[in-house]
Chains A and B, each alone.
Chain A
Amino acid sequence: MARPARAVRKVVLWLVRIFFALMLAFPFYWMLITTFKRSPDLYNLKNNPFLFNEPPTLEHLRLLFNETLFLRWIGNTAFAGAVVVIITLVLAVPAAYALARLTGGWGAQLGIGVFLTYLVPPTLLFIPLSKVVAMLGLQDSLWSIILVYPSFTIPFSTWLLMGFFKSIPRDLEDAAMVDGLSRWGAFLKLMIPMSTSGILTVVIFTFTLVTQEFVYALTFISTAAHQTVGVGVATFLVRGDVFYWGSLMAGCLITSVPIGILYNIFLDRFIEGFTVGAVK
């Protein structure tokens, strides 16, 4: 009895896995196949869309890199991402340490309060912020999002790092301070080097959050050349009503996969940030 039941169970589990993997990954497969198909092949209803009915081509990639602002958008995103990472680290690392170690019970409360601000959505804040951005003269500039993005990367990073600092035994700092280091010295020379993996996680997440953000960039920036890659590909690659699907899908694929891989590596830590309190 037990053996066939186990075999059935195994088959069912594989069917479920394969079904979900196909459904979830399909659009990315579709981006891949569209990227390398010739246009006459793409736009012929008689052709089987799953196959290459004509030899593959690099034409869409050439168009994407040579005749659109794609590389500019990638550059913009990398620059904004780097500056936002720096702002986030400078503000969140000391804040997380202070809230985890120096403030006793109400530090934890404040930490939860900081995390809750992460839940306030861009779609509530974008209207007042668009006025703030205009008043600062940053409208239509990459600096508008560089200013605004830390408002959600700092809360999440502080929350993640608080958990990280709490997991380091207090005795280590106490010993270092007995040996003559000040509290600030212990933070700089002991805690930061010990938290490199936590800090690296924050760097990756901040960067991916910058790449994924859509609403603020769409709201504040109107010139194509100043856009980030997420908004640029999704809104400016369409000229008038004409969709260049080949180049569009190439842009989507190139944007998605590297970020997907990076994020995937650090995902478990990211999820810990959400599940504190429900999983022990």
Chain B
Amino acid sequence: MKGQRWLGPAMFMPAIFYIVALVGVPFVMAFIYSVGDVKIGSEGYHFVGLHNFISVLKSPSFSQAVKNSVIFTISSQILVLIGANILALALKEAFPGRRFMRFLILLPWVAPVSVGSIGWKWILDSVYSVVNWVLVRMHFVKQFEAPVWLGIPKLAMISVILVHTWHMLPFATVIILAGLTAIPRDIPEAAAVDGAGFFRTLFQITIPMMLPIINVAMLFGVIFTFTDMTVIYILTRGGPFDSTQVIPSLAFFTGILGSDLAEGAAISIFMVPLLVIVSYFVLRTAHRAEVT
């Protein structure tokens, strides 16, 4: 049993060290940069206080980005949760072809999101959009008045929300499905025997029992949506006129492409409060698991 005391730490310290060096240190650096004057290629560091934050808060692009981030996150998460619950209920029981259908349904989550978004860019193309072809054929719009999905502010926002929903829906569905299959079958069945109808069983038994798992799907969904920029970067680059700019994409354009690392860092710091809140709730769920 000798030597055991150091064996444990010796086995986990390398991993912890890696994570501290490449997550912990840059996390702290982001804060330090946000109160400094670092640019790409610049040397040295001067403390500038809240200068970057003041300039960020004054910029119209930033307030637009905050507003867009909130709209983007909330609307796509509402759509995801509604869709995922319906879909999970429809997939719960065994049916012929279930495996294949699960594969089809999962594709938007498992395929690289950058590549899936390019698919949508083609589907929503300004001239050759298949969506518009159908709309024209069904006489909803005229040939040359068809909507330019990614070129008009409101439509662009709707498009990126729908594409992101498309990407996140399978993830929420499988999480909720895992929760559904864990509900003991006899409880809804007993309710049915007692005369409760489908909707009554759904709203008074199934959904309340599902709440913890829906919470998990929502927490991860919120964090993966609020901090992501891939769909938006590929479909609209934040345009037209910042109408789909969100906090992470603005941080990218300012900090990396605009080479103002300090201001980019200041922008990205605005994601931290939400990160802290979500982490708190994730911790709470994890601790509940420890206790029971």
Tell which of A58-66, A193-201, A208-216 binds the partner: A208-216
Residue on B nearest A117 in the bound complex, by CB = B23
Known contacts A17-B91, A28-B107, A127-B261; A150/B179 CB under 8 A: no
A256 B15 Cβ-Cβ under 8 A: no
Q: Which of B16-48 contact A (CB under 8 A)?
A: 16, 18-19, 22-27, 29-30, 33, 38, 40
Q: Known contacts A31-B119, A127-B264; decide if A234 and B286 are in contact (CB<8 Å).
A: no
B90 touches A263 (CB 8 A): no
Q: Does B190 contact A (CB under 8 A)?
A: no
| Residues of B close to A94: CB separation below 8 A | 11-12, 14-15
Assembled-state Cα–Cα distance A88/B125 (Å): 40
Assess whether B150 is interfacial by the CB under 8 Å rule: no
Assess A95 versus B11: contact at CB under 8 Å? Given A124-B268, A124-B272: yes
A71, CB-defined interface residue at 8 Å: no
Complex CA–CA separation, A28 to B4 (angstroms): 53
**Segment at the interface with A among B56-64, B70-78, B126-134:** B126-134
Chain B residues with Cβ under 8 A from A229's Cβ? Answer: 112
Cβ A130 vs Cβ B271 within 8 A: no
B228 within 8 A of A: yes
Q: Is the CB of A263 within 8 A of B115?
A: no
Query: Once A and B bind, how many residue pairs between them come within 8 Å at the CB atom?
Result: 301
Whether B155 sits at the interface, judged by CB under 8 Å, is: no
Query: Is residue A110 contacting chain B, with contact meaning CB distance below 8 A?
Result: yes
Which residues of B have CB within 8 Å of A261?
Answer: 103
Q: Return the contact of B22 from the options A13, A110, A121, A150 (Cβ within 8 A).
A: A150
Residues of B within 8 A of A128 (CB): 25-27, 29-30, 33, 261, 265
> By the criterion CB–CB under 8 Å, are B30 and A127 in contact?
yes
Does B80 lie at the interface of the complex (its beta carbon under 8 Å from any beta carbon of A)? no
Q: Across the interface, do A260 and B19 meet the contact criterion of CB distance under 8 Å? A: no
- Do A43 and B27 contact each other (CB < 8 Å), given the known contacts A102-B4, A259-B112, A264-B106? no
Residues of A with C-beta under 8 A to B271: 121, 123-124
A184 interface residue per 8 A CB criterion: yes
Contacts of B233 in A (CB 8 A): 214, 218
Chain B nearest CB from A117 CB (Å) reads 5
For A271, list chain B residues within 8 Å (CB): 174-175, 178
Q: Does B102 contact A (CB under 8 A)?
A: yes
Residue A248 CB within 8 A of the other chain = yes
Cβ contacts under 8 Å, A119 to chain B: 223, 275, 278-279, 282
Instruction: Tell me if B33 and A45 are in contact (CB < 8 A).
Output: no
Residue of B nearest to A20 (CB): B87
Contacting residue for A277 out of B27, B268, B289, CB 8 A? B289
Inter-chain CA distance A274–B223, complex, in Å, is 13
Q: Is the CB of B12 within 8 A of A123?
A: no
Instruction: Report the minimum CB–CB distance from B98 to chain A (whole Å).
Output: 9
- B138 close to chain A: CB less than 8 A: no
Contacts of B161 in A (CB 8 A): none
Judge whether A189 is part of the interface by a CB distance below 8 angstroms: no
CB neighbours of A256 from chain B (8 A): 107, 111-112, 115-116
| Interchain CA distance A220-B25 in the complex, whole Å | 18
B7 within 8 A of A: yes
Q: Roughly how many angstroms separate A196 CA and B182 CA in the complex, as a whole number? A: 26
Q: Are B15 and A95 in contact (CB-based, < 8 A)?
A: yes
Q: A181: CB under 8 A from chain B?
A: no
A184 to chain B, nearest CB (A): 6
Q: A21-B105, A95-B11 are in contact. Are A274 and B216 (CB under 8 A)?
A: yes
A266 to chain B, nearest CB (A): 10
Judging by beta carbons under 8 Å apart, are A279 and B22 in contact? no
In the complex the two chains form, what is the Cα distance from A130 to B40 in whole Å? Answer: 9
Q: Which residues of B contact A34 (CB under 8 A)?
A: 122
Residues of A within 8 A of B (CB): 9, 13-14, 16-17, 20-21, 23-28, 30-31, 34, 42-43, 45, 48-50, 90-92, 94-95, 97-99, 102-103, 107-108, 110, 112, 114-117, 119-132, 134, 147-148, 150-152, 154-155, 158, 183-184, 187, 208, 211-212, 214-215, 218-219, 229-231, 233-234, 243, 245, 248-249, 251-252, 255-257, 259-261, 263-264, 267-268, 271-272, 274-280
A-B contact pairs, 24 of them (CB 8 A): A13-B90, A17-B87, A24-B108, A24-B170, A26-B123, A27-B116, A30-B122, A45-B133, A91-B15, A94-B15, A112-B287, A122-B227, A123-B251, A131-B29, A132-B26, A132-B29, A187-B11, A218-B233, A234-B115, A234-B118, A252-B115, A252-B118, A260-B111, A279-B182
